[in-house]
Structure 1
Amino acid sequence: MVGQPVVAAGSPLGLSATITAGVVSALNRYVDVGQGEEPAALINAVQTDAAVNPGNSGGPLADCAGRQVGVNSAGAQTPDGGGGSIGLNFAIPIDFAVSVADQLIKNGRAEHPVLGVLSVTVTDEMARSTGLPRGAYVEQVLPGLGAARGGLRAGDVITQVGDVAVTSTDQLLVAVQAHRPGDTVQVGFQRAGAPQRAGVTVATPG
């Protein structure tokens, strides 16, 4: 819950058994943590202002009752890379972490759902110039996956997944990752100016 007090535990900079305190600042964040040419992102991340520095990663983010709510993973830094924690820190939600761990133990691999589209964000500028709604503009529908089977086409603008509004590709990823492979979700989209909906079964790629 946003505003909930939390503590982050770990060994920042080699200082073992360190605790920092803060609150849950936001939920369901998409955070790009890739370096160089290696893409990587946190999906559905918990944002907190409890300090997370190198050495905190993998440690627990817990509430005041000692219940773990996340796994510390990343912290934003100033553009020059200095200054330590600036109060923008992120953790993997515990439910997601447990789900992945259970799959790895049971199957040796973890499966993550995809909709089956390649999309770009309809920015404010693009919306003004084209009349499109804010959302995820579908550039390509991948054959054989849920979006294709549900009837989505290139040129559609996805604006909702289930009950979650979508105004960017990042939000689309977050909304899809809230489901499990095999779930069927209602996808709202606009086609040629008309709002439409379709049931789409999310699946694993490949």
Structure 2
Amino acid sequence: MDELDSYSRTVVAVAETVGPAVAALAVGDPENPRGAGSAVVVRDPAGDGAVLVTNAHVVARTRSGRATFADGTHADVRVLGADPLSDLAVLAAHPDADTPSPVTLGDAAGLRVGQLVVAVGNPFGLAGSVTAGVVSGLGRSLPTRDGSASRVVEDVIQTDAALNPGNSGGALADASGSVIGINTAVAGVGLGLAVPITTTTRDILDALRREGRVRRGYLGVVGAPAPLPVDVAARLGRARGLRVADVVAGSPAARAGLRAGDLVVSADREPVVDAQGLQRRLFAGSIGRTLPVTVLRGQAMVDVLATPTELGA
């Protein structure tokens, strides 16, 4: 008689699929590394090898460490790149290391509130720990900062699967065993957050692997979501835009003629309903390129042409 119900069988299957590829990560001095969090083996998009993904805050400013897997094997790793503004980092294992098979990366775009998720990590140094729960919220925001630059990680996954110190950088998987998030924060009792695996996330990971950093465009606007007038909302098929609260003097936005009070409805011909919608248009490909921005100014739609500079350059 099968003593496992359907729920248990699903969690067990996910744990057996994902668990071997989730490592306890220690960083810093090779002779005396400190426990930091977790890391997940993923396929290297450039070839047949594998790299590891974790949180930027887990590696902090260190450049090397050791990943220890649930079966007791370990691999020395070096940091290829870390991006505090997305809280993601990519590690390379030593060429002679025998790392487990990589996980399958899924797509968080199709997640629904109430969906089963399984978190795998190494809380308090307890390797291969597994907790299960549901997606308890979507579209959450996680403020991050890198020096003088700040950003909001968009569409963060909220889950009630128990996360504890050491889970950061671990895997959040769906019922099929696909990893749809990288656990990043414990926001309170029964509340954990994970950076979603999306097209944007994959682009960030690829940039970190190839270049060691993520280049972003800079416009120089501060804004917040705001409702569109009823007639404009009906015409555009959406209810909100991004109200410009401030424009930084001398910034690309200021040179383009954007003004405080403008209501941004699109950038690069794509809809904008919040700050994240604008941020999505400001990766490396936007730098030095003319970026059309459409705003509602008073009763008129106005097109402005901005040329983003590189953030931090």
| TM-score calculated relative to the size of structure 2 | 0.47
Tell whether the 8 Å contact from 1:181 to 1:202 is kept in structure 2 after alignment: no
Q: 1:152 aligns with which of 258, 269, 274?
A: 258
Tell me how far apart the structure 2 counterparts of residues 57 and 155 of structure 1 sit (CA, whole Å). Answer: 39
Tell me how far apart the structure 2 counterparts of residues 63 and 201 of structure 1 sit (CA, whole Å). Answer: 40
Q: 2:221 aligns with which of 113, 118, 128?
A: 118
Q: 2:143 aligns with which of 32, 47, 53?
A: 32
Residue aligning to 2:244: 137
Shift of residue 93 of structure 1? 1.7
Q: 1:190 aligns with which of 296, 303, 310?
A: 296
- Number of residues of Structure 1 aligned to a counterpart in Structure 2: 180
Residue aligning to 1:17: 128
1:2 aligns with 2:105: no
User: What is the root-mean-square deviation in Å for CA atoms of aligned residues?
Assistant: 3.4
Residue aligning to 1:204: 310
Q: Which string of whole-angstrom CA distances, capped at 9 and with x for unpartnered residues, describes residues 149-202 of structure 1?
A: 65423332335552342xxxxx31x21233443357764433234344556666
Shift of residue 53 of structure 1? 1.7
The one-letter amino acid paired with 1:136 is R
Tell whether the 8 Å contact from 2:120 to 2:131 is kept in structure 1 after alignment: yes
Shift of residue 140 of structure 1? 1.1
1:177 aligns with 2:287: no
The one-letter amino acid paired with 1:175 is G
Distance change in 2, residues 1:111/1:122 (3 Å): closer
Tell me how far apart the structure 1 counterparts of residues 249 and 299 of structure 2 sit (CA, whole Å). Answer: 23
Q: Which runs of 5+ in 1 are unaligned?
A: 78-84, 125-132, 166-170
Distance change in 2, residues 1:118/1:144 (3 Å): closer
Distance change in 2, residues 1:151/1:40 (3 Å): closer
Range 41-50 or range 4-13, more displaced: 41-50
Distance change in 2, residues 1:202/1:29 (3 Å): farther
Tell whether the 8 Å contact from 2:168 to 2:183 is kept in structure 1 after alignment: yes
1:163 aligns with 2:274: no
Tell me how far apart the structure 2 counterparts of residues 90 and 160 of structure 1 sit (CA, whole Å). Answer: 29
Tell me how far apart the structure 1 counterparts of residues 202 and 303 of structure 2 sit (CA, whole Å). Answer: 32
Residue aligning to 1:99: 203
The one-letter amino acid paired with 1:178 is R
Distance change in 2, residues 1:68/1:120 (3 Å): same
Q: Secondary structure at the match of 2:285?
A: coil
Q: Which string of whole-angstrom CA distances, capped at 9 and with x for unpartnered residues, describes residues 10-62 of structure 1?
A: 1222322111112223333222356xx99674333222222222111000111
Aligned-pair identity in percent equals 34
Q: Which runs of 5+ in 2 are unaligned?
A: 1-110, 228-239
Residue aligning to 1:130: none
Residue aligning to 2:69: none
Tell whether the 8 Å contact from 2:156 to 2:196 is kept in structure 1 after alignment: yes
Tell whether the 8 Å contact from 2:247 to 2:258 is kept in structure 1 after alignment: no
